[in-house]
């Protein structure tokens, strides 16, 4: 895994050009709403994954990375928009610069392109959840169980487990369908065989009785057993020039077909049942669309191999995110799936009835060819083909939905003229002289042999289908058990970690808190303890603030499970705001104690939060950036630690305007920060458009007041050392203020926006030096601290820094 050493952003989202030294340590970016903090999160997210989570998901269909990631001023030049991250591979300590441009957002460059670092970067790339926004955290808590399961499975990279189970389940269902289909076919051919034999069933005794009777007539030996290899024509010699039609059978089957044709109400009944079922769909097209979509999505889900969607070609941050999205879409078509399940039986019954009729028709054709009207065979073939085609229209649920209108009329009626010609055939067959006993026996056995072969074939198919079905059931069961055991173990660990984190966060009133995660058939139930009363859904009784806290804790538990020791980086975008104000310190302690090796990059719009994190030791004074405001032209107004080096770079390039602009913005940011730190009162402006001079004046005044108090305090104690120290501070201040006031004109924007002003580096440098000297008055000299000095706004007792290196007492000795 990697951690982040440095971030450089150019023309990206609301940021023009910014450098943030993250130092592979936890870092806080704080500032008011709309100051550009989230741009930093977007930039890290983009650099790592090539995507911006904020621009993905529900309600973001009209925005995209290529179109909306560049700064609005250069939106037509995506090549100018880029993010560079200096990353460190924690396994080897190697560093490299990862750079990603919006123009080629699906690729990144690594300089140097070190294999170890690339592997570590790839590990981060496939975990977009390293970036957590406030809107993400609640999804795990209040989602429906199936959605939660999908989301958490995607986070835990479990979607593959689910996809394999789904496909095994699909195989099992298809195997079951094949068993049913083969049994239906077997029934049809057995009925055909039985009808020919004239027996009540196709048991061996009945079959052999009918067969042996004919064999006896022909002088052939009798069978004592019926085996799959039994050949009814064994020892029976062919006789040329005689009919192959068995007259008795032909008469029976022709009569049967004529009877069916005269009364097709049994087919009508199946058609009616199917129609009723289809009418339950309010909108067949919508169901069809949902089903087509479902089929397409299931195919697509199985075909996902990388970030590119196999269905539409769009790039996603990770294959896992894409799979989770498709799985969610599939879930939404569940209603359609249930409708189809209800359609299955009536559809199959109707198709079976049609097929039975087709078999009846086809077995009369040989007799019609030999004894019927010359048009009858063709009429019967046309009818048989029409029945086959009609059955095919209902061979699947999808086809049935499309063919619903075909049920409005009898598509299984015989062609015109068939009834008359069939009746004529029946009459003719009945009028024929009886076949000789030997001819009857021979034709009977020949046809019996043909139909017996069909029965044997279908029996084999049924056996094969049943065996396959049993294997499919066993495999599905084995997989489900293996998966459920693993998931139960995993969810138990998550549940325990989650409960511990949340209990720690709410140690004041919910220290014995517990939770329960219960996976079940693709869903994940989540219940939490409410003050020892019982287990409830998390959104049943807990406040929204507590639910947010749960979301954060569940996120941490899941990330620990997902990444284990590789959980070394998390970017939390305004997430801490979700934590109840009374639990800030515990939250900081939780991060420190449970995740001491994780680099947290945290944004917050609450400065108190930032100070709390510093007080708790989660970050140092230097590990933070404060954004004061934002403008379209300049991006965030940002006080930065390396500003002096950057101004020197401009001066080295003779870019005085650039240097002056940076210095002015830095002074604006720093002065605002100092004003707040030392309790300086800035005159209120209703439009909040404060000028640099407003802050500078307030800061100078307050600083003077505090040093005067310091002098009084030192005098009250007759503390010579303290008096000398305060005097030194006042001397330094006098010099700094003198220089600063003398050179302030050089950073006035009016100067730099005027053609007449053409400042040289030498003209500008005194302003640069004086500004630096001025700001140094308020900064701790200890490099590891580097923070602004601060004091209480009311009744200040001391002027100090966070590390204690700078400390001036302001409390005078009380008179006795």
Site for other proteins, rule CB under 8 A: 156-158, 160-161, 163-164, 167-171, 173-175, 299, 301-305, 464, 467-468, 470-472, 474-475, 477-479, 481-483, 485-486, 490, 564
**Shortest Å distance, C-beta 667 to other proteins:** 50
What is the closest distance, in whole angstroms, from the C-beta atom of residue 301 to other proteins in the complex?
8
Question: Cα–Cα distance between 770 and 772 in angstroms, integer?
Answer: 5
* Between 206 and 302, CB nearer to other proteins: 302
- Nearer to other proteins (CB atom), residue 168 or residue 387: 168
| Residue 23: CB minimum distance to other proteins, A | 30
β-bridge partners, 407: none
Helix (H) or strand (E) holding 294: helix 284-303
For β-strands 624-631 and 82-89, DSSP reports them as unpaired
Please say which residue, 145 or 170, places its beta carbon nearer to other proteins: 170
CA angle 625, 629, 630 (to 5 degrees): 105
Cβ proximity to other proteins, 234 vs 478, nearer residue = 478
- Closer residue to other proteins, CB minimum distance, 489 or 511: 489
Q: Provide, rounded to whole angstroms, the least separation between the CB of residue 335 and other proteins.
A: 21
Q: Specify the residue, 479 or 530, whose C-beta has the smaller distance to other proteins.
A: 479
Q: How far apart are CA 430 and CA 593, in angstroms?
A: 99
Residue nearer to other proteins on the CB measure, 427 or 471:
471
CB of 184 to other proteins, least distance (A): 19
- In angstroms, the first-to-last Cα distance of the chain is 63
What torsion, rounded to 10 degrees, do the Cα atoms 544, 547, 553, 558 define?
-130
**Closest separation in Å from C-beta 562 to other proteins:** 8
Minimum CB separation of residue 151 from other proteins in Å reads 17
Q: If you ran DSSP here, which 8-state letter would residue 72 be given?
A: G
| Dihedral angle of Cα 387, 390, 396, 401, to the nearest 10 degrees | -150
* Smallest distance, other proteins to C-beta of residue 467, A: 4
CB of 145 to other proteins, least distance (A): 20
Asked if residue 168 lies in contact with residue 479, where contact means CB atoms within 8 angstroms, the answer is yes
Walk across the sheet containing 599-604 and list its strands.
131-133, 569-573, 599-604, 27-30, 624-631, 635-639
Residues 484, 490, 491, CA angle at the centre, nearest 5°? 85
Residue 173 C-beta: closest distance to other proteins, Å: 8
Q: Which is nearer to other proteins, 323 or 640 (CB)?
A: 323
CA distance 683 to 457: 97
Q: CB 228 → other proteins: shortest distance, Å?
A: 17
Q: Are 411 and 390 in contact (CB under 8 A)?
A: yes
Nearer to other proteins by C-beta: 486 or 724? 486
Q: How far apart are CA 660 and CA 758, in angstroms?
A: 12
3-class secondary structure, 521: coil
Q: What are phi and psi of 12, to 5 degrees?
A: -125, 125
* Residue (511 or 521) nearer to other proteins, CB: 521
Using the minimum distance from each CB to other proteins, give the nearer residue, 175 or 359: 175
Q: Which of 674, 708, 676 is nearest to 777 (CA)?
A: 674
| Residue 116 CB, nearest approach to other proteins (Å) | 16
Least Cβ distance, residue 177 to other proteins (angstroms): 10
Q: State which residue, 205 or 488, has the beta carbon closest to other proteins.
A: 488
* Residue 299 or 385 having the CB closest to other proteins: 299
DSSP per residue over 454-496, as a string? HHHHHHHHHHHHHHHHHHHHHHHHHHHHHHHHHHHHHHHHHHH
Contacts of 614 (CB under 8 A, 6+ apart): 28, 620, 621, 624, 787, 802
CB atoms within 10 A of CB 427: 11
- Let me know how many helices (H) and strands (E) the chain has, helices first: 28, 16
Determine the Cα–Cα distance for residues 621 and 613; give it in Å rounded to an integer.
10
């Amino acid at each position: 895994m990697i951690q982040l050493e440095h971030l450089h952003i150019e023309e990206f989202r609301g940021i023009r050009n910014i450098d943030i030294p993250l130092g592979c340590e936890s870092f806080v970016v704080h500032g008011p709403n709309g100051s550009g903090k989230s741009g930093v999160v977007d930039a890290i997210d983009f650099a790592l994954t090539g995507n911006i989570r904020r621009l993905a998901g529900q309600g973001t269909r009209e925005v995209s990375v290529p179109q909306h990631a560049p700064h609005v001023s250069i939106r037509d030049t995506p090549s100018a928009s880029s993010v560079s991250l200096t990353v460190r591979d924690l396994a080897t300590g190697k560093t490299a610069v990862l750079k990603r441009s919006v123009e080629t957002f699906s690729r990144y460059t690594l300089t140097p392109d070190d294999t170890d670092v690339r592997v570590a970067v790839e590990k981060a790339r496939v975990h977009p959840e390293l970036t957590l926004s406030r809107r993400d955290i609640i999804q795990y808590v209040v989602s429906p169980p199936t959605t939660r399961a999908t989301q958490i499975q995607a986070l835990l990279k479990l979607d593959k487990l689910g996809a394999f189970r789904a496909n095994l389940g699909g195989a099992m269902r298809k195997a079951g369908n094949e068993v049913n289909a083969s049994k239906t076919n077997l029934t049809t051919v057995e009925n055909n065989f039985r009808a020919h034999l004239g027996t009540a069933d196709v048991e061996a005794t009945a079959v052999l009785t009918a067969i042996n009777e004919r064999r006896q007539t022909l002088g052939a030996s009798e069978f004592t057993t019926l085996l799959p290899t039994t050949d009814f024509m064994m020892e029976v010699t062919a006789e040329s020039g005689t009919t192959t039609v068995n007259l008795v059978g032909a008469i029976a089957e022709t009569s049967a077909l004529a009877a069916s044709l005269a009364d097709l109400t049994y087919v009508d009944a199946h058609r009616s049942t199917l129609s009723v079922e289809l009418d339950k769909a309010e909108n067949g097209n919508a169901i069809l669309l949902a089903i087509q979509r479902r089929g397409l999505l299931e195919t697509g889900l199985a075909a996902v191999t990388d970030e590119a969607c196999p269905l539409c070609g769009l790039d996603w941050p990770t294959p896992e995110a894409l799979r989770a999205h498709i799985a969610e879409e599939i879930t939404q078509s569940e209603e359609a799936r249930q409708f189809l399940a209800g359609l299955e039986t009536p559809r199959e019954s109707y198709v079976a009835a049609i097929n039975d009729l087709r078999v009846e028709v086809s077995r009369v054709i040989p007799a019609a060819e030999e004894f019927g009207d010359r048009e009858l065979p063709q009429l019967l073939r046309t009818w048989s083909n029409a029945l086959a085609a009609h059955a095919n229209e209902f061979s699947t649920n999808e086809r049935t939905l499309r063919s619903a209108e075909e049920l409005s009329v009898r598509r299984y009626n015989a062609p015109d003229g068939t009834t008359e010609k069939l009746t004529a055939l029946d009459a003719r067959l009945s009028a024929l002289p009886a076949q000789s006993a030997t001819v009857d026996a021979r034709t009977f056995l020949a046809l019996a042999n043909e139909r017996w072969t069909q029965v044997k074939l279908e029996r084999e198919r049924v056996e094969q289908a049943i065996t396959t079905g049993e294997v499919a059931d066993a495999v599905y069961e084995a997989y489900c058990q293996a998966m459920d055991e693993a998931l139960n173990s995993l969810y138990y660990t998550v549940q325990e970690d989650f409960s511990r984190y949340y209990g720690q966060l709410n140690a004041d009133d919910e220290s014995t808190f517990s939770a329960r995660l219960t996976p079940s058939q693709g869903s994940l139930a989540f219940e939490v303890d409410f003050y020892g009363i019982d287990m409830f859904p998390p959104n049943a009784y807990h406040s929204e603030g507590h639910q947010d806290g749960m979301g954060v804790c569940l996120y941490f538990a899941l990330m620990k499970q997902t990444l284990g020791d590789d959980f070394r980086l998390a970017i939390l975008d305004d997430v801490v705001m979700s934590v109840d104000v009374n639990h800030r310190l515990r939250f900081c302690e939780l991060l420190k104690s449970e995740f001491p090796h994780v680099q947290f990059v945290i944004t917050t719009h609450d400065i108190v939060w930032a100070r709390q994190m510093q007080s708790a030791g989660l970050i140092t004074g230097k590990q933070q950036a404060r954004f004061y405001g934002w403008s379209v032209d300049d991006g965030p107004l940002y006080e930065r630690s390396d500003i002096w080096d950057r101004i020197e770079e401009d001066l080295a390039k003779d870019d005085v305007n650039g240097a002056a602009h940076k210095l002015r913005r830095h002074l604006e940011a720093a002065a605002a920060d100092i004003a707040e730190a030392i309790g300086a009162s800035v005159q209120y402006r209703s439009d909040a458009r404060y000028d640099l001079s407003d802050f500078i004046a307030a800061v100078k005044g307050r600083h003077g007041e505090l040093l005067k108090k310091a002098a009084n305090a030192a005098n009250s104690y007759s503390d010579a050392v303290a008096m000398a120290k305060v005097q030194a501070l006042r001397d330094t201040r006098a010099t700094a203020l003198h220089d600063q006031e003398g050179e302030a004109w050089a950073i006035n924007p009016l100067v730099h926006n005027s053609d007449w002003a053409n400042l040289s580096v030498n003209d500008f440098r005194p302003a640069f030096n004086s500004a630096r000297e001025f700001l140094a008055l308020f900064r701790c000299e200890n490099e590891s601290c580097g923070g602004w000095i601060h004091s209480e706004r009311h009744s200040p007792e001391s002027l100090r820094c966070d590390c204690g290196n700078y400390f001036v007492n302001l409390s005078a000795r009380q008179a006795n």
